[in-house]
Structure 1
């Protein structure tokens, strides 16, 4: 099936950083924002969020890190993608705290390229779910100025409930840049989400203080989605009115302000 029909308004290209090559979809004009899709892939609800970012006056970059571009999140094959990402593919660090995923190096290179091509004050990025913490680790790239962590779910496992998928050096770099460049970060979660515990957000609050803007939503504000619990703040559980929509608008405004759109 032509799942990528949902991406018909986007330009498709390949980006090679010398180590990995990944497909990237691009749309819009103005400063760059990288939207890093969640599990099980670049599904239509992620594209819909990216559409709204582009409509707000920014150039959206949609890298394809796993899965099939445009395939619905409810597709049965999505389970194979999740198992592969969590257990097989070494470019992702799913189970260890205090360490980022190797694929973040590729995302940093993409941010440099996007900033060189699109200009503005810098690049914004949002990770979601499995990729939720990637935008924090990307802060070692000077072009990155607006990190958003939407339901950051790594590292997995109860023993890692308070952990984050960024190294001490990456956290220290982000803290320094936040102070020296007057930057900040947004994190989003539903309060009852078992994949994104309150303990993880407490770690981020402790490390970054008022430079970390925590948006923690009540579960009953979520649009019903494929999971039994509320999880995907900006996509599958986004309601068109109420607190989740306000959270989406806050993220888009943050990107506009920080990138200079």
Structure 2
């Protein structure tokens, strides 16, 4: 890479029959930042750099799209066409955990095993927002953040309310929340892409779901429609959950 990712270390991670590239940078507790559609855009990478600058080791998996390509109508359409035919992602199935969650949990375990501490952070955005929730089924994830979670796609009331977890995984998440592992969520309530997922999370997780909502119209809370308050809340959440109390 010669652009925004040129200072990041390129590697890859394999779990089962899935292998994806990863980009890594920084020192300190581990945080996995999962890019939105259409891919690791310059604004996603810039957000990852902010997490690095706040004192964390950031790993950004590259799951789809072209690295460093800006978000445009063409890049979004091309990536959606690719994602919609891939079996590892859950697009239109209710009460089902996407197979990619197994790979992401493995990545989190590996990073936690290397760095130690209370656990790692996991942040998904847009199409990948709910992946962070699926990752917390593994105890290595101590700070899950859902930025405008949009999968499964809000095609009808049932899918609009679905949080992308199987009943068994949802129960594990609820048990972890009951044990003190909070979940941070960010959205524009007027965003049609997130449907009513935050209502479901509030009902299922109670006070353990920390909901941050922004006025007006928008979607990308940390990138395209960035809210500094959202960035600050995310960084504070990671610091609180991932840095051991001395």
Q: Give the shorter-chain TM-score range.
A: over 0.9
Structure 1: unaligned runs, 5 residues or longer: 220-228, 239-243
Note the alpha carbon deviations across 1:3-57, whole angstroms, 9 max, x for none.
x511112100011113211000000001100000000101010111110111111
Residue pairs, 1:1-261, within 5 angstroms:
5-74=3-72, 76-85=74-83, 87-156=84-153, 157-159=155-157, 160-180=159-179, 182-197=180-195, 199-219=196-216, 229-238=217-226, 244-260=227-243
Distance 1:166 1:68 in 2: 27
Contact 1:139–1:170 (CA<8 Å) still a contact in 2?
A: no
Range 73-82 or range 106-115, more displaced: 73-82
Secondary structure of 1:195's partner?
A: helix
1:234, CA displacement in angstroms?
A: 0.5
Secondary structure of 2:142's partner?
A: strand
User: CA RMSD, aligned part only?
Assistant: 1.3
Note the alpha carbon deviations across 1:110-134, whole angstroms, 9 max, x for none.
0011111122210100110000100
1:75, CA displacement in angstroms?
A: 6.7
Range 19-28 or range 162-171, more displaced: 162-171
1:78, CA displacement in angstroms?
A: 3.4
Give the TM-score normalised by structure 1: 0.89
Range 162-171 or range 24-33, more displaced: 162-171
1:139, CA displacement in angstroms?
A: 1.2
1:212, CA displacement in angstroms?
A: 0.1
Give the TM-score normalised by structure 2: 0.95
Secondary structure of 1:26's partner?
A: strand
Contact 1:41–1:66 (CA<8 Å) still a contact in 2?
A: yes
Q: Tell me: CA distance 1:233–1:154, structure 2 relative to 1, closer, same or farther (3 Å).
A: same
Count of aligned positions = 242
Secondary structure of 1:46's partner?
A: helix
Secondary structure of 1:204's partner?
A: helix
Distance 1:167 1:18 in 2: 20
1:178, CA displacement in angstroms?
A: 1.8
